[in-house]
Chain A
Amino acid sequence: MASNGKLTGKQRLGWTVLTVVVLLYALFPVAAILATSFKTQADLGNAAFLPSNWTWANYEMILVGDAQELFLTAFRNSIGITLIATFIAVVLATLCAYAIARLNFPGKRIILGTALAVSIFPVISVVTPLFNLWRNIGLYDTWLGLIIPYLSLTLPISIWTLAAFFRQIPWDLEQAAQVDGATQWQAFRRAIVPLAMPGVFTTAIIAFFIAWNDFVYGISLTSTEAARPVPAALAFFTGASQFEEPTGAISAAAIIVTIPVVVLVLLFQRQIVSGLTQGAVKG
């Protein structure tokens, strides 16, 4: 690349411009919310992008002030429910995808087909019957009542991504392990899982985002702070008076909710990227 750097100078400029445009387009809303979260109540109405007076008031309100209970319990609910749902989804999907990639059993296609069908089924059409069912069996407004529907969102995509990933791992490795004296489980644990880890991380992050971002289930299947996740809780923010919009507080909450996601990506990006470059897998 370095040798023909002069030739690509023009192209490089083009790419830079394009990247900046895309970044601006994608990040502008985030920046706007970040700016809004530092505005005072009076400042909200003006058309300026940056706040005229920077204030931590909105953050104070949701973290230690009036809205503290509403926000922090919701935040706890969100983290707990999402982590549990992600964990279960990844463990189940790993076993399921492994079976799909490696074993020949009747109904393999049906499982994949059903998973796909479930994942494209509109959430809104499921939520009403689920609401009635959950009320009848006592799952309404509980963590479990949200974890189960979240699994229906995260499992299909996890199964599909992991199955694709497992198919890339050479079968020889597993057979070699079996000939070396491993049971099927040992071969899976010691030869396949270490190689599949990058795929599992990627899948876990995707599953986490899906569950973290859910709004429809969160607002429909909860009624109190017992299980209400953050996206739903934001809708219940109220201003200091009836006539005040809680825009500042919502913005601050939105920023805080974004932080775990950013942290996750930063933490695991090495695993995701390093993933398939381990080499020696092919001859």
Chain B
Amino acid sequence: MSSITLQNLVKKYDDGFPAVNDISIDIEDGEFIILVGPSGCGKSTLLRMIVGLEDITEGDLLIGGERVNEKAPRERNLAMVFQSYALYPHLTVYENIAFPMRLTKGKFTKEEIDEKVRHAATMLELTEHLDRKPANLSGGQRQRVAMGRAIVREADAFLFDEPLSNLDAKLRGQMRAEIARLQRELNTTSVYVTHDQTEAMTLGDRVAVLKKGLLQQIASPRELYEQPANLFVAGFIGSPSMNFLPGTVEGNVFSTPLGKIEIPDRAAKAGAGREIVLAGIRPEFFDDASQLSEAQLSKGTTFTAEISHSEWMGNEQYAYVSYETDERVQDTLRNLAEEMDADELRTQLVVEVDATSRFRSGDTAELWLDTRRMHLFDPATGENLTRDAEAGAELTREAREDRKRDAERFVSRQS
């Protein structure tokens, strides 16, 4: 178990393209870090630099305080789970799990190997499959064998490269819980690459969002969600993703294509004097005004809009409101959509309302907006103008304390 420190890591390919550009992250002992971003953002490259399968062009990589830039993968004592699982097809499950120990001649006795393999197999419910070949296992079982191979190593850290992307949705949920449980139980430093938001939000103590080789923000999932650093993070985290509504701030009034919306002082101050800003509003910041109490209504702003269509999902309901977007922000939004691997820029507001609301296509509905939670972004730089850094840091600190408490609780339960 070790801390991992990334200091200004750079990876340049022969053509000079920086796949990873000046990334610094301090990973604490026992922490679960997620690297997330759209495809081509350098997250896998960064992981492979940590494990030693890619050379580091510039910067320092420290594991347990020791610089390991030049060390071969086998000398770094890390365990990795590959996207393809990379099980050895000619070996049984037992031998697959025992493989790392067989390589260290003389370090383990036969009995020790047997004990460790069986312990890992019990933990992962693989005991009855030990004599089978990987070809005869299901996807979830193969995944568990790959985890078993990582566990027996007693490595300093676990590295996961999109380990669940080959599984179907149901199994993915199960394995996600399994990985979270194991990580807590073993309290091993982990770095996990994914492009799946759910995995990022549920597994990570902290999540690092990458775009084109650059670190956008690293924070607890809650901080990313509530206090995003910029337009990209705000748009990338959350599903359905955040709405970006262009408009101008004059006093406490925000003029948008949907009409004028009254905003609180904090936002008004941040947006004052700017020609145009983008308001970031998550779908759940809206609600059906007719269902809310007076007290609730007074905390935000109400406005009317025509519902172009609605989707009833059972537990919730999405309503869509079309609007004319402002030409001045069109480029920004188009770029953003491209960066996020999204199909096209949307000129539709997604509104999440209670499932009992009776919104129908073509209705003119009265919507309530919680203006306290919305953010204003500068369309030119993408900077979040209303970000409360202190509140964000507080959220991440809470997450860190939660993790430590979890670990302690587990240790005390063990003894």
Interface residues of B in 99-146 (CB under 8 A from A): 99-100, 103-104, 133-135, 137, 139, 142
Identify the A interface with B (CB < 8 A): 170, 172-173, 175-183, 186, 190-191, 194-195, 278-283
CB-defined A-B contacts under 8 Å, sample of 22? A170-B86, A176-B82, A177-B88, A178-B52, A178-B74, A179-B74, A179-B78, A180-B99, A180-B103, A181-B100, A181-B104, A182-B74, A186-B103, A190-B103, A194-B88, A194-B90, A195-B89, A280-B137, A280-B142, A281-B89, A283-B83, A283-B139
Choose from B86, B99, B134 the contact partner of A175 (Cβ within 8 Å): B86
Determine if B236 is an interface residue (Cβ-Cβ < 8 Å).
no
Residue interface mask B207-249, A partner, CB < 8 A = 1: 0000000000000000000000000000000000000000000
Name which residue of chain B comes closest to A180, CB basis. Answer: B100
**B residues 137-191 with Cβ under 8 Å of A?**
137, 139, 142, 149, 153, 166
| Assembled-state Cα–Cα distance A177/B135 (Å) | 18
- Shortest CB-to-CB span from A207 to chain B, Å, is 24
Judge whether B74 and A181 touch: CB under 8 Å: yes
Contact A278 B84 (CB under 8 A): no
Q: Tell me if B33 is interfacial: C-beta within 8 Å of chain A.
A: no
B72 touches A278 (CB 8 A): no
* Number of residues of chain B lying within 8 A (CB) of chain A: 31
- Chain B's closest residue to A183 (CB) is B74
A179 shortest CB reach to chain B, Å: 5
Q: Is the CB of A181 within 8 A of B139?
A: no
Give the CA-CA distance A283 to B72 in the complex, in Å.
Answer: 27
Instruction: Find chain A residues with CB under 8 A from B86 CB.
Output: 170, 172-173, 175-176
CB distance from B262 to the nearest CB of A (A): 53
Chain B residues 71 to 91 lying within 8 A of chain A, measured CB to CB, are: 72-74, 78-80, 82-90
Which of the listed residues B86, B139, B149, B166 has the most CB atoms from chain A within 10 Å of its own CB? B86
Distance to closest chain B CB from A223 (angstroms)? 48
**Nearest chain B CB to A37 CB, angstrom units:** 44
Distance in Å from the Cβ of A56 to the closest Cβ of chain B? 47
- Contact residues in B for A191 (Cβ distance below 8 Å): 88
Asked if B391 lies at the interface with its beta carbon under 8 angstroms from chain A, I say no
Contacts A179-B80, A180-B149, A181-B104 hold; do A283 and B85 have CB atoms under 8 A apart? yes
Q: State the 8 A-B residue pairs at the shortest beta-carbon distance, nearest first.
A: A279-B135, A280-B134, A176-B86, A280-B135, A172-B86, A180-B100, A280-B89, A194-B90
Is residue B19 contacting chain A, with contact meaning CB distance below 8 A?
no
Chain B proximity of A101: nearest CB distance (Å): 17
B146: nearest residue on chain A (CB-CB)? A176
When distances are taken between beta carbons in the complex, the residues of chain A under 8 Å from B104 are 181
Minimum C-beta distance from B250 to chain A (A): 56
A178 to B48, CA, bound (A): 12
B319 lies within 8 A of chain A by Cβ: no
CA–CA, A279 and B84, complex, Å: 13
Most buried by B among A172, A173, A283: A283
Partner of A177 from the list B51, B89, B99, B166 (CB cut-off 8 Å) is: B99
Q: Which residue on A lies nearest to B79, using beta carbons?
A: A179
CB of B380 closer than 8 Å to a CB of A: no
**Considering only CB atoms, which chain B residue lies closest to A173 in the complex?**
B86
In the assembled complex, the CB of B318 is this many whole angstroms from the nearest CB of chain A, namely 34
What chain A residues lie within 8 Å of B393 (beta carbons)? Answer: none
Given the complex, which residues of B lie within 8 Å of A179, measured CB to CB?
51-53, 73-74, 78-80
**A194 / chain B contacts, CB cutoff of 8 Å:** 88, 90
**Contact residues, B13-64 vs A (CB, 8 A):** 51-53
- On whether the beta carbons of B80 and A173 are closer than 8 Å, the reply is no
Chain A residue at smallest Cβ distance from B134: A280
User: Which residues of A sit under 8 angstroms from B137, Cβ to Cβ?
Assistant: 280
In the complex the two chains form, is B78's CB within 8 Å of A278's CB? no
Q: A173-B86, A181-B153 are in contact. List 9 more A-B contacts (CB 8 A).
A: A177-B99, A178-B52, A179-B80, A180-B103, A182-B103, A183-B72, A278-B89, A280-B89, A280-B134
Shortest CB–CB separation between residue A32 and chain B, in angstroms? 45
Q: What residues of chain B lie closer than 8 Å to A176, measured between beta carbons?
A: 80, 82, 86, 149
Which among A178, A181, A194 has the highest number of chain B CB atoms within 10 Å? A181
Question: How many whole Å from B116's CB to the nearest CB in chain A?
Answer: 14
